[in-house]
Chain A
Amino acid sequence: MLASLFVDTFQFIGDNAQLLLQKAAETAELAFTALGISILLALPLGLWLGHRHRGLFFALGVSSVGRALPSVAIIGFGIAWLGVGFWSNTIALVVLGIPPTLTNTYFAVEGVDRDVVEAARGMGLTEPQILARVELPLGLPFVLAGIRISAVFVIATATIAGLFGGGGLGDIMANQAAYGLAGVLAAAVCVSALALLTAGVLGLARNAASHRMAPSA
């Protein structure tokens, strides 16, 4: 039974490539919009707090509260507040996407060797320059690792929005009656592929960043 299900799933992918691509594009649009906004919010805040060596409890708190937030509930809040639609889901995903990026960015910058920062200050760099030219480049691998965690989480959670008419691949996954179990699994394969692809790209960026930072001596 499992074997035939496997065959059916790939059959479905072959027969409905058009539909799956279109739904995957919707999921990607939702997930990447939310991811972009969450980075825009989390990155500057994490950089600033890390640079000032302030807000340790805030950073730790955001990460543990962030993990504790049940995604269904957050998406539910979005809908209860704004009604079903692109923006209610986007806002919910932004909330869920912020914690990993914020926490990692904070610890990336906070953890930069203080002697290096002092040396930069001694060389006459202004605080924004220190942040942009010393702390951010040194912490970049860890920042990108955080963005990667956020990305995978947001993409996976974007499908839950499908349970409430959020569009995208989640629509197929939440509608076994119409698409069959093979359709549900086919959509799941597409979600995993999208998540793995995104994680792979961000992983490469992370490796490139840490390679560049490796001592050349």
Chain B
Amino acid sequence: MTGFRVAGGGPVIPNFGHGSACLKNNGWFCPEWVREHWGDILQPALVQHIELTVIAVSVGFGIAFVLALVGFRFRLLNAPLGAFTDFLYAIPSIALFQLLVVFTGLTVTTIEVALVSYTLFVFYRNIVEGLRSVPAEVLESARGMGLTRRQTFWRVELPLAVPAILAGVRVATVSTISIATVAAFLLYYGLGGPIFQALSEPDIFRTELVAASGLAILLALAADSLLALAQRALTPWSRLG
């Protein structure tokens, strides 16, 4: 947990001689600190955090989609693939980050690999469940209309699985935003950086803690709301029921 200061871009602890009364008393939220360090600490961390999340969720979705197709098509493989994603999800994050360092070093790649592996659990489950949930009568009528297996998949099963898949995207995105903050105990990156930095001060630097955690929470809520809107827009039929 040392060395954050160097990576963090300049001194963060306020100069107690010149700081405002709020900073001198280590208040819970001193707006002037946030204004002053938005550009050099908070905004870069926020941007990094969004990048981490978008990449992890996209890559995780791609991998899980392929796995889910395999598990859906070949039923025998469904249980082992599900168990594999369960297993990955059950590895405590602090340990997984450290294990991956052996292979990919103290890099952003390490963080991404861990984040991707945690998304697989939610994605795999939701995609397979979504595909499975298509009623037998619907498949029967698709066959009756002369659709081939491939056409049935792309035109019937996959569209009907969209609500479940999007629900998975929401859960995976929000939990990725949360887990990504843990990664900063290894590497100053994302919103976890300022959070751990604030916590590593002898007297926990409250304003930085509140500002960075607040941004993480707001980011998660914003992502969740945006995806909820996307869910409504993409599945207009679900509002009828």
Contact = CB atoms under 8 A, between A and B. Distances in A.
A80 B206 contact: yes
B90 to A, nearest CB: 5
A21 interface: no
Given A173-B92, A181-B99, A185-B99, A68 B217 contact: yes
Give chain B's interface secondary structure class: helix
B92 A71 contact: no
Contacts, number: 110
B92 A159 contact: yes
A195 B91 CA distance: 10
Interface residues of A, number: 35
Contacts of B184: 72
B94 A72 contact: no
B90 A184 contact: no
Contacts of A68: 174, 177-178, 217, 220-221, 224
Given A79-B199, A174-B185, A196 B90 contact: yes
Contacts of A173: 92, 94-95, 98
Given A64-B174, A67-B178, A185-B99, A163 B217 contact: no
Give chain A's interface secondary structure class: helix
A163 B95 contact: no
A176 B198 CA distance: 22
Contacts of B220: 67-70
B116 interface: no
A70 B185 contact: no
A156 interface: yes
Interface string A63-83: 011011111111011011000
A95 interface: no
Interface stretch (A107-115, A132-140, A186-194): A186-194
Q: How large is the interface on B (under 10, 10 to 19, 20 to 34, 35 or more residues)?
A: 35 or more
Interface string B186-209: 000001100110110000101001
Interface string A127-160: 0000000000000000000000000000010011
Nearest to A96: B178
A156 B195 contact: no
B48 interface: no
B193 to A, nearest CB: 11
Interface in A159-214: 159-160, 162-164, 170, 173-174, 176, 181, 184-185, 187-188, 191-192, 195-196
Contacts of B231: none
B29 to A, nearest CB: 12
A76 B90 contact: no
Interface in B88-126: 90-96, 98-99, 102
29 contacts: A5-B102, A64-B174, A64-B221, A67-B175, A67-B178, A68-B217, A68-B221, A69-B178, A70-B178, A70-B182, A71-B178, A71-B181, A72-B182, A72-B184, A73-B181, A73-B212, A73-B213, A73-B216, A76-B199, A79-B199, A80-B204, A80-B209, A162-B94, A170-B94, A174-B94, A181-B98, A184-B95, A184-B98, A188-B95
Interface of B: 1, 90-96, 98-99, 102, 171, 174-175, 177-178, 181-182, 184-185, 191-192, 195-196, 198-199, 204, 206, 209-210, 212-213, 216-217, 220-221, 224
Interface of A: 1, 5, 64-65, 67-74, 76-77, 79-80, 156, 159-160, 162-164, 170, 173-174, 176, 181, 184-185, 187-188, 191-192, 195-196
